[in-house]
Structure 1
Amino acid sequence: MEKIKTRPWDSAEYLKTEEDVTEYFEACLLEGGDDPAFIAQALGVIARARGMTQVARDAGLTREGLYKALSSDGNPSFGTILRVIKALGLQLHATAHA
């Protein structure tokens, strides 16, 4: 039996347009909006799709600092999250919870 070659799924490879990024982030907020680590990870995926070096520069962070903040072991401050969101060209919006 021939082995099938696989590779890990990387959502960043599919975030090609602004619409892709917006829909992905919105879905992540809806799915895991009460889990800060999940949201930080989602921002990390978007940052990798956009280029970590440029996002870090735009957010006023080092590249290493951005990787650390958005890693599974990271615990970024809310201020860092807001700077990353702004650097990614995204905005947070609020709606009433049903």
Structure 2
Amino acid sequence: MITKPFDIAEHLESTEDIRDFLNEVAQTGDEADFIHALNTAARAMGMSEVAKKAGVTRASLYKSLSENGNPRFDTISKVTKALGCRLTVA
């Protein structure tokens, strides 16, 4: 029996799940971890929907949030808002 690798995106079912996930990564991870978490959350919500809400193309969203991506701050901010979250400083 072949088992499918665990994908947290399959378990992020609501905006609250996504917010909790991103908050946890922001508290415990580094910048690369947060960008990876944005990718995961965007996949959970649907890349096309997130790209549309963020005002970017689906292809550029994939590229920005890829392992080798280097998104600008405005992209991170737009994607965060498209996911129903906001960036805050505590």
TM-score using structure 1 length: 0.86
Offset of 1:20 from its aligned partner?
Answer: 1.1
Percent of residue pairs bearing the same amino acid type: 46
C-alpha distance in structure 1 between counterparts of 2:89 and 2:58, whole Å: 30
Matched, 1:69 2:74: no
Residue 16 of structure 2, aligned match among 9, 14, 19 = 19
Match 2:75 to one of 63, 80, 91: 80
Distance in 2, Cα, partners of 1:36 & 1:60: 22
Return the offset for 1:91. Answer: 0.9
Displacement, 1:13?
Answer: 0.3
Identify which of structures 1 and 2 has the higher relative contact order when contacts are C-alpha pairs closer than 8 Å and 6+ apart: 2
Residue type of the alignment partner of 1:77: R
**Structure (1 or 2) with the greater helix fraction:** 2
Gapped runs of 5+ residues in structure 2? none
- RMSD, aligned CA: 1.1
For 1:91, the equivalent position in structure 2 comes to: 86
The CA deviation at 1:5 is: 2.5
How does the TM-score come out when normalised to structure 2? 0.93
**What 5-or-longer segments of structure 1 have no aligned partner?**
none
Q: Give 1 or 2 for the bigger CA radius of gyration.
A: 1
1:54 aligns with 2:52: no
